Amino acid sequence: MIKVEGLTKQFKVHKKTPGLKGSISSLFNREYIIKEAIKDINLEINQGEILGLIGSNGAGKTTLTKILSGIIHPTAGKVSVLGFDPWERDNRYRKQMSLIMGQKAQLWWDLPAADGFLLLKEIYQIPDTQFKQRLAYLSESLGIEKELNVQVRKLSLGERMKVELIAALLHQPKVVFLDEPTIGLDLSAQKAVRRFIKEYRKEFNPIMILTSHYMDDIEDLCDRIIIMKEGEFVYDGSIKQVQQEYAQSKLVTAQASPNINVSEEYRKFPKSLGEIEINDNGKITVRSPREKVMEAASYLIHYLKIEDLNISEEDIGDVIEHIMSKGKEA
C-alpha cells in the first residue's frame, strides 16, 4: 500500500538573465527562485491498483514518482510505501520496488542485456532456478529472446524498452513505477508493451503507477487516474467517472446514404441537437449533449437515411485536456 500525507516538494532553481551579460553576472551573483513542484497532496493506493498520472509537462508527475521511489527527498509531508519511508532507502524496500524510465536506460550500454541481468540477479539475490524461470517468462512474453546477447546500445528503441522492462521486473517487485514506458516507440511496440504490462499485472498483482502522455496507455491500462496541474491533484477517480462527470457530450457517428444532399442536410440539422460535421465521403459526426443524444440519433436515422450508426463517449483526451485547463474549478 502507498500512503501520502501533506506532501510538498520545492526546488531552488537558479534564474539566469539571457545573454552574455547575464552569464558573466551570474559568476558573481546568482538569483534563485523557489519552484513548488508538489503542493500539499494526499494519496492512497492499494495493492493491485494501477494508477495513471496525467498532467502537462511540469505538473509534478515525475517529481512525485521520484519521491515515492526514494530518489529525492520531500520538503514536507509523510510518505509510506509498503510500510517503508522511501527516503530511508532500506534495502528491504528497494528489493520490492522498481522504476522503469522510458527516457533513461538503466542497463549497461556497452554490454548485452544478458550480462546486466546476471548482475541484477546478484544485486537482488534471486536464486538460480527462479532467475532462469523469470527470465524465460519475461523474454518470451516480450518476444525478445534472440536480442538478449546483443549490446544494448545496438538494440532498437522498442527492443531496448523491452529489455529494460525485463531488468526492472526480474525481482518481481510489489511496486512498479512506470515513467513514460512507451515514449518514442512505434505503434506495434507500444501495443506489445501495454499487453505485457496487463499480463504481468494479472499474474503478479503489484501496485503500478504509470506516467504517460499517451492516452492509449492510460485508457488501456489504468483503473484510476489522477490529473495533476501545477503540483496539485485536480482530479482523482476512474476514467469512466471522468467521462460521466466532465464529458458533457457524446459522439454520434454515421455513414450517410449516397443519395442525400450533404450541404442542405448540414444546414437543416437542428442546433439544439448538437454540432454536426459531414465530410466529403458522407461520414457524419454529431457532438451532441448527453441528454439529446438519442434524439440526435433518431433524427439522423429518419432524415439522413444513414447506413451505419455508432454512439460513443467523447475522446477522453479532450475531456482531460479540458479538466487540465480549468484546474480544480472544472
Partner 1 sequence: MELRRTLTYRADFWVNFIGQTLFSIVIAYFLWSSIFETLNVQTLNGFTMERMIVYYLLVPLVFRIQQGQTIGSISREIYEGSLNKFLLYPINFYGFKIITHFAGAVFYYAQIFVIIGLYQVFADNPIFEMSFLKLFYFTIAMLGISIAYFCLNSLSELVAFWADYIWSLGVIIRFAVSFMGGALIPLSFFPEWSMKILNLTPFPYMISFPMKILLEEVALKEFFLNMTILALWTLVFLFFSRVLWNKGRYRYTGVGI
Cell of 320: 482531460
Asked if residue 206 binds partner 1 (CB under 8 A), the reply is: no
User: Per-residue contact track with partner 1, 289 to 318, x per CB under 8 A?
Assistant: ------------------------------
Asked if residue 94 binds partner 1 (CB under 8 A), the reply is: yes
Which range binds partner 1 by CB under 8 A, 99-107, 132-140, 191-199, 285-293? Answer: 99-107
CA-based torsion, 230, 233, 239, 241: positive or negative: negative
Q: Which of residues 68-87 bind partner 1 (CB under 8 A)?
A: 69-73
Asked if residue 213 binds partner 1 (CB under 8 A), the reply is: no
Among the listed residues 15, 30, 78, 104, the single contact to partner 1 using CB under 8 A: 104
Instruction: Count Cα neighbours of 139 within 13 Å in the Cβ-side half-sphere.
Output: 16
Q: In what order do the strands lie in the sheet with 2-15?
A: 31-45, 2-15, 76-81
How many residues sit close enough to partner 1 to count as binding (CB under 8 A)? Answer: 30
Residue the block writes with cell 467517472? 241
Among the listed residues 111, 251, 260, 311, the single contact to partner 1 using CB under 8 A: 111
Asked if residue 127 binds partner 1 (CB under 8 A), the reply is: no
Q: How near is the Cβ of 275 to partner 1 at its closest, in Å?
A: 41
The whole-angstrom separation of Cα 57 and Cα 63 is: 11
Residue 207 or 297 having the CB closest to partner 1: 207
Residue 54 or 284 having the CB closest to partner 1: 54
Q: How near is the Cβ of 214 to partner 1 at its closest, in Å?
A: 17
Contacts with partner 1, residue ranges (CB under 8 A): 11, 62, 66, 69-73, 89, 91-92, 94-95, 97-99, 101, 103-104, 106, 108, 110-111, 115-116, 119, 123-124, 151, 179
